[in-house]
Amino acid sequence: MVSGDVLTINGEDVRVLLDGREQEILAAVAAAYKAHGRGDSSLPHSHFLRFPADERNRIIALPAYLGDGFGIAGLKWISSFPANLEQGLNRASAVIILNSAQTGRPQAIMEGSVVSAKRTGASAALAASRLIARQPRAVGIIGCGPINFEVTRFLLAVWPELRKFYVFDVDGERAEQFRQKCGQWNVEVEVVPELTTALREGEVVSFATTAGTPHVFSRSACIPGSTILHISLRDLSPEVILSCDNVVDDVAHVCRAQTSIHLAEQLTGNTDFIRCTLAEVLEGTAPTKKDPQSVTVFSPFGLGVLDLAVAQLVMELASAEGRGTLLNNFLPTN
């Protein structure tokens, strides 16, 4: 690519390029976590753009640099507008910009919500596969949007023999649509009328909702030793968090923005209730879980380095397969 050119990649191309590449995405996400855990990254705090008198909507900027063989910098600019669902639109939309770590010049601009959903699904499945010793009998899905659909996809990538899912959504129609969409896989999906049923049946439970404040105040329904993938971060009360074994992606990042982990930190005045990070689990340096029967909660704030790792894969595939549109001389000449 000529130095002044920039590759643009639309959402459909991103989807096609990543289709069927779950193992490559899992490997990229794992490598990004390890690089970050070793300190070979730069990850400023995410910046939240909010709107006056509007608590629900936000646009978030996630800048990052990822080294350790990646050598890429960039930014994800992602919005979350929950009311979009009422208009038949996706809740989230995003753009990712990739920059050369050598010159700082932009190399690619791509649709980012597909990358974001897949790196989130891969992160959750990677965590589940390392935090639970065996394939679960069943999985509980709470929140039937695109994120949990990708979680389901990647759980099947790490556990190909997994067959049973219990799904719940406050919108029963969305739950039924989710069930039908899962028909592309050889799995049994049962729509359940109560959230507690998904907790009671799933040895792994994934929360991906639009909840802004805690609404789960007890873990009594959970299977002993089960794992909760707390992707939406604000579903569990701080008391529930404190009663569980806690693993996060990054302590400093997740203890922000009134996440359940943040609320627990405010309640206790410390982060001693967090056992380790996922990078430590992947590297085999995490402290041993004290009680094998305790419920483990994985709370990923969502690190920009994961977006960079998957977006770089997209850029390389697009260049190799001739997809995307090259904006010639996008950058000004001297």
Same domain, yes or no: 111 and 244: no
> Residues with Cβ < 8 Å from 133, sequence gap 6 or more?
none
Task: Give 238-254 pLDDT, tens digit per residue.
Answer: 999 999 999 999 999 99
For residue 202, what is the domain's CATH number? 3.40.50.720
Query: Measured between alpha carbons, how far is 62 from 106 in angstroms, rounded to an integer?
Result: 16
Residue 334 lies in a domain: no
DSSP strand pairing (139-142 vs 204-207) = parallel
Residue 243 lies in a domain: yes
> Residues with Cβ < 8 Å from 180, sequence gap 6 or more?
none
Same domain, yes or no: 102 and 205: no
For residue 68, what is the domain's CATH number? 3.30.1780.10
Same domain, yes or no: 196 and 169: yes
- Number of folded domains that form the chain: 2
Q: What is the pLDDT of residue 2?
A: 56
Same domain, yes or no: 76 and 108: yes
Same domain, yes or no: 167 and 231: yes
Residue 122 lies in a domain: no
Are 64 and 41 a contacting pair, CB within 8 Å? yes
Q: What is the pLDDT of residue 333?
A: 80
Owning domain of residue 163: 132-299
Query: Measured between alpha carbons, how far is 56 from 216 in angstroms, rounded to an integer?
Result: 19
3-state secondary structure of 211: coil
Task: Give 79-108 pLDDT, tens digit per residue.
Answer: 999 899 889 898 889 999 999 999 999 999
pLDDT at 3 over 80: no
| Mean pLDDT to the nearest integer, 126-151 | 96
pTM (2 d.p.)? 0.95
Residue 265 lies in a domain: yes
Mean of per-residue pLDDT scores for the chain: 96
Q: What is the pLDDT of residue 9?
A: 98
Same domain, yes or no: 174 and 88: no
Q: What is the pLDDT of residue 91?
A: 87
Are 117 and 145 a contacting pair, CB within 8 Å? no
Same domain, yes or no: 315 and 294: no
Residue 291's Cβ-count burial label (10 Å; 0-12, 13-18, 19+) is: exposed
